[in-house]
Amino acid sequence: MPGSLAIISATFPKKTRAKAIGTWSGFTAIAAGFGPILGGWLVEHISWRWIFFINLPLAVVVLLITWKHVPETRDEDAKKGLDWLGAVLATIGLGGIVYGLTESGTVGFYNAPVAGSIILGVLSLAAFVVVEAKSSNPMMPLGLFRSKTFAGANLLTLLLYSALSGILFFLPFNMIRVQGYGPTLAGAALVPFVLVMFLLSRWASGLVDRFGSKVPLIIGPVITGVGFALFALPSASGGSYWTTFFPAIMVMSIGMTISVAPLTTTVMGAVDERHAGTASGINNAVSRTAGLLAVAVFGFVMLTGYSRALETRTNTPDFPAEARLVIEGQKDRLLDIDTSSIPDETVKADIDSAIKDSFVAGFRWLAWLAAGLAFGSAFFSWLLIEGKVSSKASKSSIS
């Protein structure tokens, strides 16, 4: 992914680079949208294992295209060698924090392995920053962040993609396990997102030329935040896709379309051209890190909201005591609570209804959290990103 943007920067002149990045964003959206549909179909009709096998022929196609059509480019002044210590510290840091946050939902923060994992992760990331500051060939040159625009764009990426990744991770659980959609239909629910991104990405990339970076990177996240908030409206009782999830997906799609291409253009334009590959690599790493952390953090928030709603629902005089005991012993399993030991179908139905209503309550917490993160990214865009990234600013961003 980082290499693809570096190739665009090296191949296209500045006049057409924004449109090229817009096209890149559009095809990225197609891939991101087609993947869940294909994955859902494979899971439903063949086997979940095929969602991994499908990568092999795709990789072969990419290698053939690269060998035949991609010209060689390199920074002749770049130092040889890899930043192995930085890579190890980043891996331990992110892995430790994510493991700790994920397990904390089940055993709590006071559990020794959980607390130790989070502390180790934080210390490793702190050491990573120190190592990168002193390294002669860092994997993440800290000098790039002297540009307020580059720093702001990456902060926006962290917040906005955390929100997007968190919502899209839990949305299929809601649609399949609560609303009754099949895996293929749940994947197809994001088709509007794909179409909007593909059709409007080139237009969105031109917004930077017309209005500068600041305007689209404020308006886009705000609209996206409204879309995230709309995910809080559907209830567990279901309803037509067109009146429940479709409005939220459409508003989110428009907001993300306005954001993605200008964001990528801004990141690439905020640094000197010879650092374009590193800049795109950092930004892609930030977006992937956002997704990694979002699953852990959103999972913790989801479990908290779900548990509170379930406790409220079950601690009522009319709720069967037998059902309450079954739920108490398995509440950390969310939608996978086993009710096979209960012979009474009415009691099973009560448990099923309580579980689904509580899951939707927890999902609403996620929707509001995602909306808050999106609005926060808009605020930091207003605070840090310049209206336009001039060529002079680009060349002086790294001294």
Q: Where in the chain are the domains?
A: 2-72+146-309+356-396, 84-140
- Average pLDDT on 268-286 reads 80
User: Could you identify the residue written with the tokens 């290698």?
Assistant: 63
Return the DSSP state at 72: P
- Nearest by Cα to 331 from 350, 349, 347, 354: 354
Output the pLDDT for position 377. 96
Average pLDDT over residues 162-174: 92
Helix (H) or strand (E) holding 4: helix 2-11
Is the pTM above the cut of 0.85? Answer: no
**Is residue 26 packed enough to be buried (19+ CB in 10 Å), middle (13-18) or exposed (0-12)?**
buried
The span from the CA of 79 to the CA of 292, in Å, is 30
CATH topology of domain 2-72+146-309+356-396: Growth Hormone; Chain: A; (1.20.1250)
Decide if pLDDT at 28 tops 80: no
Distance of alpha carbon 304 from alpha carbon 100, whole angstroms:
16
Mean pLDDT of 289-316: 87
DSSP, residue by residue, 350-396: HHHHHHHHHHHHHHHHHHHHHHHHHHHHHHHHHHH--SS--HHHHHH
In this predicted structure, which of 125-134, 181-190, 317-326 has the lowest mean pLDDT? 317-326
pLDDT in tens, 349-384: 888 888 889 999 999 999 999 999 999 999 999 999
Q: At which residue do the structure tokens 């908290």 appear?
A: 304
- Specify the pLDDT at position 2: 66
- Of 88-92, 207-211, 286-290, the one with minimum mean pLDDT is 207-211
